[in-house]
A and B are shown apart, each in its own frame.
Chain A
Amino acid sequence: DARVTQTPRHKVTEMGQEVTMRCQPILGHNTVFWYRQTMMQGLELLAYFRNRAPLDDSGMPKDRFSAEMPDATLATLKIQPSEPRDSAVYFCASGLPQGLEQYFGPGTRLTVT
C-alpha cells in the first residue's frame, strides 16, 4: 500500500530555531505539494514541484521559508527562523501529472513557542 510519508510527525521548537520537515512522495509520482493547515486560514498551498522543479511557490513567505527536492524521493520544507505564527499542520501530497488526485501524507504538527 503506497503512501506519502512525512517526518517528523510532531515538532515543538522555540522561536528563532530552524525547522526542517521531510516528505517522501509515492514512488513514481512526479508532482509534490506542500500545504499548511490552520484553523484561521484553512488549507493553504505553499509550493509545488513537478519533476523536482519548483513550479509555484507564491504561497510561501520567501524571507523565512524554503522548499526543495534534492532527489525524486525526498522533498523538504525549511523554516528559518521559525516564529509562533508558523504553528500549524504541514502536509505534503504527491500525484501524477494530470492525474488529478493528490495523495496526502499524515502531516507534521509544528508548534513554535
Chain B
Amino acid sequence: AQSVTQLGSHVSVSEGALVLLRCNYSSSVPPYLFWYVQYPNQGLQLLLKYTSAATLVKGINGFEAEFKKSETSFHLTKPSAHMSDAAEYFCAVSVGTSYDKVIFGPGTSLSVIP
C-alpha cells in the first residue's frame, strides 16, 4: 500500500536560510508525487508535482524537489527562506490506476524567523 512520511512535524529556519522539508514514500508502482502548501485558514494549493519526467522538479515561489528512487525520497528545498513561506507543507503520493486518489502525509509546519 502507498504511504507518505514526513520527517519533522515542525521546522524553523531563519529568513534567508536554506529550507529543507523531508518526504519519503512507499509505493509498489511508479508513483506520482506532490508537494502542497497550506497557508493559515486556506485550502491547499499545489507547489509542484513529479510525474516520471525530470527527477528535479521546479515549482512555484522558488521551491524545487528531487525524486530519488533509490532513497524513496522527494525532499522539498528552497535556497533562501522568506517570511511569506511560513505555512504547512504536505507531501503526497497518488495511487490507483487512474492516479486520481492522493494520499497526503501528516504535514510539516514551517516557521521563518526574522
Contact = CB atoms under 8 A, between A and B. Distances in A.
A55 to B, nearest CB: 7
Interface residues of A, number: 22
A109 B29 CA distance: 36
A54 interface: no
B98 interface: yes
A63 interface: no
Nearest to B45: A104
A91 B101 contact: no
Interface residues of B, number: 22
Interface stretch (B18-26, B62-70, B102-110): B102-110
Q: Which of A42, A56, A97, A102 has the most CB of B within 10 A?
A: A102
B21 to A, nearest CB: 15
A48 B99 CA distance: 13
A28 to B, nearest CB: 16
Contact of B100 (A4, A43, A98): A98
B51 interface: yes
List of 6 A-B pairs having minimum Cβ-Cβ separation, nearest first: A104-B43, A43-B104, A104-B44, A42-B106, A101-B46, A106-B43
Interface of B: 32, 34, 41-46, 49, 51, 90, 94, 98-107
Given A98-B100, A100-B51, A107-B42, 15 more contacts: A31-B100, A42-B106, A43-B44, A45-B103, A50-B98, A50-B100, A55-B100, A93-B43, A97-B98, A100-B32, A100-B34, A101-B46, A106-B41, A107-B41, A107-B43
